[in-house]
Structure formats: structure tokens, C-alpha cells
Amino acid sequence: MNLAYRAWLLFLFFGLLVVATRWQIMPDQVFGFDDVNLAYSIKHFDIRISQPQPPGYPLYVMEMRALWWLHFRRVETILQTLALAGGIAALLLTALAGNSILGGESGFYAALLLLFQPAFWVAGISSGLRVHLAIISMAVGAACWRAWSAATAKKPGEGRWVLWSALALGIGAGVRPEAGPLLFPLWAVSALRAPVKWRDRMLGLAAMAAAVLAWLLPAMYASGGPAEFINACTAYLSDQSSLSSGFFGASGSDWTTAFWRMIAWTFCGVPGWALAAVLAWRRGEGWGLGRERAAFLALWLAPPLVFAITVHAAAPGHTLLMVPVLALFGGFLVDRAVDRSGAPLSRWDALLFGLLPVVAMLALDTTEFTALWLPPACVAAGLALKSEPMKNNGYPLRATVALAALAPAILLNAAMFYHRGWYYRGPHTTGWRAAMEQALTDLNSGMEFTSYEQVYNTVMLDDQSVRQVFRLAKEKPGNTWVVWEEGPTAWRKVAYYAPQTPLVVLEHAKIHRGSPAVVSIWKGPAIVQSIEGAPPLRVTLPAGARVVWMIGSRSDFYNRVRQAFPLTAAGPVWYTDLPREDGSRTLGEYQLAW
């Protein structure tokens, strides 16, 4: 089949699947803190004021501005469009590149596995920016493979991919800058292996540097110059990593929690490959991946994995440099399993295919059944399929075997994504059992972040909170203030949707524990006042003003507020009407006066 024609068919196929699995469940609002920063950056780019947050993602902001220029006037629509388009692009690249790298239909099966992988799925409905990590990973990986395999390729001119892969990496880093250094080792080794002259390698490096400078210099200029840009990036990385990396100050328990969550986000789909893995195994040759492809995939996967473990992976979408690589291997196993369809047919085949609907119903009904019993059941089924061969009279079709191999993975991923109530808390508090139970707790909490329930609950809570702010401010127009302290809704989102209501943010200079308290007062994207110094930090509001409290109901600060002020519940928030006489109350490190 003509490659261009096949590409269009794949585009339509995966486009329909992406829209069908994501469109109806996408939030119709700016989802989180980072998306608000990106929304503000459409009109003004400056990472020093988190428009967007460092390191800036300049080419992604250009994509947003391009849609704005095309009269997409709702930022929510822009983000949804980029998330859907990014998902389709990532799957199309996975299908085409995977077939090229691993042969057969490996890429096509890999794209189907990636489509339903929970981390990719949840990013596809809540963060178009993070979906771009999968696009960059696949684009750079596909180009690097052409350079890597140039020494053994029979096609002339494959060495030119040293240049094209360098450009792909330089441009991709403009969308997600962390992808640049994490994928550079793959490019470097591929360029060294390619049968080209050192002049060609230097040309590739120069092209990469030019591509990087094309987006880096404007981003630096818009953010106050190189020194300001670098300071903002290093401070942001250090602060964000202080809860996930021991190298940046995280405690041992925080680092362990971050590790197990990252494992859940990255590898949660792997148990679903059990049947394909068993069917793909051949005595004497294993899975048949080969040293060249195994080394390439390992070099592709290792740097992002090391970075995630040692530095930062705080959200499921942060793992999307790695997840497509694993999906490629899963697709390869499925493709190799399908190859057995021309081999002698086991007496167990009919039983297996007959049980698939039953397994599907059980899997969709209870996630616990799926997660615990589906993988070992698939191993047992695979071993049974390889025993007691009989004559094959043309059945099953290759498509039937492909469905049998893919179904467990898709069922498992869908069950994990739609499962409600990811929670585990073991009874032991000391010893090795407590450590294992804490790991299970962290894995469960990680899976909660990759579930639709998490997205739905966040959207509902944020919507109710903002609606209450609107209602309460309407009752006291011009004299309502929001006070936020570790509230359940991101303060940046409240400022975005209620730009006329002053917002007092009580926080600390850094995320890590022990940093000094600070106060900032915002109206929309503009900071009105910043208060620092020795505690208690004094915030002065008008007498008789209404204070809307956005605070955690289980926090110490909530208890202090409840003791100092009368609180009236309003959905997920509380409010207090201040006396008309002058007064003040001290709330730990802060003092509220009027």
C-alpha cells in the first residue's frame, strides 16, 4: 500500500478513536495552574511572572497564538484542540515510526496500546502540553533510528538523518525544553554510529544549535535577558524538585512516594501484555528483539527514566517521553504473537476466544479482578495456547489473534482509567510489611492521578468554588476579597476566572518546608502587592469587607481561622463578613487587619 495513502488511513482511524475516547470527557475549563499560565502567555510571554511557568515552552505558546490568530477566541477551545491534535499526531507517529523501527505492524499495535495507556489518556484530556512529550519522543526517536541503522540499511543516503534528527531534537526542545538534554544521548550515539564524516556530525550539531537558538533567544529576551531567564529556570527546577528528589531536599518518604508514583504512571499498562509476551516467546531466541533494537530502545528510555527517578516526575504526563518507548515494545510483542497465527492451532484456542467476552465483562465490572487476575490468567492462557498443537485449517485469522493479544491490555487500561476509589492503607506501621504497604499506598495514589475520577472531581470542585466566589462577590460588589491558603482549588485558576475580585495568597517563598512566609495580592494576572518580612505578615482589608476563605478543611490554618472568625459554609468554600469597626486577628504566620 502507498505510504501516503496508508498514513491518511491511519490519521482517520486514530483521529476517530482519539475524539471518541476523549472529546466527551474533556474539561470545558482551563484545567489547572499550568494551563492558566499558558493562557496568560498568549498575550504576554515572560517566565519571570509565570506566563508561562519556566522554562517557557515557547513553540507551544506559538501554537496557541496561531490558533488565537485563527480566531479561536476561547482559551479552553485552544487547549482542547491542541490536546486532541497532539494525541492524534503522537499515535500516527507511533504507528509509522514503530513499523519502521521494529518491523511488521509493531507500530500500529503500539499506537493502540498507547491510545489507552492511562498516563497518556489523562494527559490527552487535561494537558495538551504534556501530550507533546510523546510527539517529541516519537519524532526524535524515529529520526535517530534512521541515522542509527544507516550503517546496515540498504537504502542510499540514510546518513542524512544525522542532520534531520538534530533538527527534530532542536525544534522539539522548543516545545518541551527538558526533552532536549534527555534525548540528546540517543542522538549523539546515533550520529556516532552513522556512516558519515565528522563534518556531517558537526553540521548536525550546528543545525541543532541554530534550531535551539531560534526559540531560546526570543524567550530569553521576553523574560528579561539570559541571566534572568537562567535564574528563573534554575530556581523553578530546584523548587519543583524539592518534593520529589532527595538531591533537591525532599525527605526520604517524599522521594519514595514520587518514585512509586512514577513507576505506576510509566509501567501501569505493561501487565496487560502478558498474553502477547507468552505467545511471542520462542525457545532459543527469546522475544527476538535483537541486540541492535534492544540497545536503541534502552538508550531511548534510560535518560528520561533516570531523570524521573533522581530529579522530577510530579505528574502522569511527565512520563510521556518514556511511555511511547514502552508501547513500542508492547506493540512488537503483539506483532510477534500474531505471527503464530500461521502455526499449528492449539486445542485451547476456541476456549480462549470463547472466554474473552466473559473476561471483558468481569474486567469492566471490577478493577481489582482485572489488576490482580487478568495478567496471570493471560500467562496461563498463553502457555495453554502453545501446548497440544493440532492441524490449523486456516483459523484463527491474524486479526483474531491480534484482538486476543490486545484485548487484555486495553481492558486493563480502561479499567484502571475509569476505576473509582483508588485507595490502600495497610495495618502495619513498622518493619518490612509497613514498607511494602506504603509502596502499595503510593502506587494506588499514583493510579488515582491517572484516573478519570481525578479529572472529574477536580473540575467539579473548581467549578463549584469559582461559582461560589461569583455569587458571594455579587452580594457585596466591590468589597469582596478571596483569601487562599493551600485551598483545594488552585489560586491561579480563581484569579483567571474572577479577575475583578482581589485575591490574597498566603504561601511560602518556596515549596519545600521551612521557607519563609510571603503574601501576594493579585487581580487577574497582575500582582497588586507583595508582602515579605518577619512574621506575622500583616494584610489590611477594608472594614466591613466580605472574606471568602479558600482553605483546606483539614489544615491547621483552617482551625486557626475557625477559632478567630465566624465561618459560614458556601459549598466548598467559607466566608466571613468583617466588622465595620477596626480590628485584627493573628493566624499563625499571618495577621489579618481591617
357 with 488, same domain: the answer is no
Question: What's the confidence (pLDDT) of residue 266?
Answer: 95
Positive/negative CA dihedral, 143, 149, 150, 153? negative
Q: Which of 225-239, 254-268, 274-288 has the lowest mean pLDDT?
A: 274-288
The DSSP annotation for 92-118 comes to HHHHHHHHHHH-TTHHHHHHHHHHT-H
Judge whether 367 lies within some domain.
yes
141 with 46, same domain: the answer is yes
Q: Which of 17, 36, 52, 37 is nearest to 124 (CA)?
A: 17
Q: What b-and-e string marks burial along 129-152, b requiring 16 or more CB atoms within 10 Å of the CB? A: bbbbbbbbbbbbbbbbbbbbbbee
492 with 359, same domain: the answer is no
- Per the CB < 8 A criterion, the answer to whether 399 and 365 are in contact is no
311 with 408, same domain: the answer is no
As for how many domains the chain has, the answer is 3
Question: What's the confidence (pLDDT) of residue 354?
Answer: 45
Instruction: Copy the grid coordinates of residue 347.
Output: 486445542
474 with 576, same domain: the answer is yes
18 with 144, same domain: the answer is yes
482 with 577, same domain: the answer is yes
Question: What's the confidence (pLDDT) of residue 345?
Answer: 46
Positive/negative CA dihedral, 61, 67, 73, 78? negative
The residue out of 335, 363, 380 marking a domain boundary is: 335
Judge whether 543 lies within some domain.
yes
Judge whether 32 lies within some domain.
yes
Rounded to whole angstroms, how far apart are CA atoms 406 and 356?
A: 11
**Which letter does DSSP use for residue 547 in this model?**
E
Judge whether 383 lies within some domain.
yes
In which band, very low, low, confident or very high, does the pLDDT at 380 lie, cut at 50, 70 and 90?
A: low
Reply yes or no on whether the pLDDT at 35 is more than 50: yes
Judge whether 342 lies within some domain.
no
Question: What's the confidence (pLDDT) of residue 276?
Answer: 87
Average the pLDDT over 528-554 and give the result: 92
Q: Which spans in 421-519 are helix H?
A: 431-449, 452-475, 491-497
Rg (CA), the chain: 27
Instruction: Copy the grid coordinates of residue 311.
Output: 530529579
Amino acid identity for residue 313 in this structure: A
418 with 330, same domain: the answer is no
More confident site: 314 or 340: 314
Calculate the alpha carbon distances from 199 to 98, 162, 166, 193, 194 in Å: 30, 11, 14, 14, 12
Judge whether 460 lies within some domain.
no
> What 3-state DSSP class applies to 471?
helix
Instruction: Copy the grid coordinates of residue 551.
Output: 482553605
Judge whether 542 lies within some domain.
yes
Which residues partner with 229 through β-bridges?
Answer: none
25 with 171, same domain: the answer is yes
320 with 433, same domain: the answer is no
385 with 310, same domain: the answer is no
The residue out of 452, 486, 516 marking a domain boundary is: 452
Residue range 386-398, pLDDT digits in tens: 555 544 444 556 7
pTM summary value: 0.90
Greatest CA separation found in the chain? 94
Question: What's the confidence (pLDDT) of residue 434?
Answer: 81
Question: What's the confidence (pLDDT) of residue 4?
Answer: 66
Give the rounded distance of the alpha carbon of 32 from its chain centre. 13
469 with 417, same domain: the answer is no
- Per the CB < 8 A criterion, the answer to whether 420 and 452 are in contact is no
Question: What's the confidence (pLDDT) of residue 236?
Answer: 87
Residue range 481-511, pLDDT digits in tens: 999 998 889 999 999 999 999 999 999 888 7
- Per the CB < 8 A criterion, the answer to whether 314 and 266 are in contact is no
Overall residue count recorded for the chain in this entry: 594
Residue range 134-167, pLDDT digits in tens: 999 999 999 999 999 887 766 666 778 999 999 9
Q: Which of 136-150, 218-232, 281-295, 302-316 has the lowest mean pLDDT?
A: 281-295
Query: In percent, how much of the chain has pLDDT > 70?
Result: 88
Query: Domain span at residue 415?
Result: 349-452
Q: Which of 7-16, 238-247, 529-538 has the lowest mean pLDDT?
A: 238-247
Average the pLDDT over 307-325 and give the result: 93
The residue out of 386, 418, 452 marking a domain boundary is: 452
- Per the CB < 8 A criterion, the answer to whether 378 and 408 are in contact is yes
Judge whether 459 lies within some domain.
no
Reply yes or no on whether the pLDDT at 357 is more than 60: no
